[in-house]
Amino acid sequence: MAAPASEVAAPDVSAALVRDAAAVEAVLEELLPEPKGRHARVLDAMRYATFAGGKRLRPYLTVAGARLFGVPEARALRAAAAIEVLHTYSLVHDDLPCMDDDDLRRGRPTTHRQFDEATAVLAGDGLLTIAFEILADPATHPSGDVRARLVSRLAKAAGGEGMIGGQMMDMQSAEHDYDKDEIILLQRMKTGALFEFSAEAGAILAEAGDEHQVRLRSFARDFGLAFQIADDLIDLTGAAETAGKAVGKDEAQGKATLVSIWGIDGARAESRRLADSAAEVLSPYGPAADELRALPYFLLDRTA
């Protein structure tokens, strides 16, 4: 049984996130091409979108997951960087006028507002593409099989049956009246699938075997849904300055969320249940997984 949020070292999670985010950003700095030449504008936009702060939650899952198995940090950081640029691409495209039409992201102009729409489309494409280039590079892992597996799993998580399919569902959510199961499916596809791969990547890098991949995916599935509930709660109750983006949009757009179905208290309770379940699935890793285990409670505290 996991300890209640108040007894878990929540401040350590915050420090761990900051520490690992800095390490990932140093690697991203090396991996993203330096803007020069007549096409510099798109490379510029790729960097603008990537270096915008953010908690770097997905890379954290990768690095912390990889640590459970003693994966060399340089490898874990490259995989984490690939996942973060892929996540960044999805934000750039989701913010476009034809999608969510957002002007602000993490308190700064979105990429298409800072540059222009065409550049933002291309920058997103470039980030998506370089994610696979990073994973396929021998510097990520000496085994070609491991590199190809990382590519394959990331593509599935990000593709039409994963993140892209989830975004398609989301774009249609004002027209359809999604029920609870459909909203859970939407979130699992749109954000859950990439969380699952982020955690699983550590086990893949370690060649730890299916059982561990399944376990980390299961942790991330619970975590991902808890994360989504927290995000919905912040959208509903938070201020734009805390969120770093426009809030109250779900309601304004007539989108059903898990919070609108369960209510605020019900959603908080569900979030706690998910955090407990996520902590439980990591029990075989003992205290080595304490930091990872505390992450869902940390998110829960943010919404209190």
> Which residue lies nearer to a copy of itself by CB, 38 or 286?
38
Instruction: Supply the minimum distance, in Å, between the C-beta of residue 251 and a copy of itself.
Output: 21
Instruction: Supply the minimum distance, in Å, between the C-beta of residue 199 and a copy of itself.
Output: 20
Between the alpha carbon of residue 125 and those of residues 22, 36, 193, the distances in Å are 25, 18, 19
Q: To which residue do tokens 């975004």 refer?
A: 167
> Which residue lies nearer to a copy of itself by CB, 125 or 251?
125
> Which residue lies nearer to a copy of itself by CB, 148 or 252?
148
Span between the terminal Cα atoms of the chain, in Å: 22
Instruction: Supply the minimum distance, in Å, between the C-beta of residue 31 and a copy of itself.
Output: 11
> Which residue lies nearer to a copy of itself by CB, 28 or 294?
28
Instruction: Supply the minimum distance, in Å, between the C-beta of residue 186 and a copy of itself.
Output: 8
Give the Cα separation of 256 and 212 in Å (integer). Answer: 34
Instruction: Supply the minimum distance, in Å, between the C-beta of residue 245 and a copy of itself.
Output: 19
What is the DSSP track for 44-80?
HHHHHHHSS----HHHHHHHHHHHTTT--HHHHHHHH
> Which residue lies nearer to a copy of itself by CB, 55 or 156?
156
Binding residues vs a copy of itself (CB under 8 A): 33, 37-39, 41-43, 46, 89, 93, 96, 98-99, 116-119, 121-122, 124-126, 128-130, 132-133, 135-138, 143-149, 151-152, 155-156, 158-161, 164-169, 171-172, 176, 178, 182, 185-186, 189
Per the CB < 8 A criterion, the answer to whether 64 and 292 are in contact is: yes
Per the CB < 8 A criterion, the answer to whether 2 and 279 are in contact is: yes
Nearest to 231, CA basis, from 179, 173, 190: 190
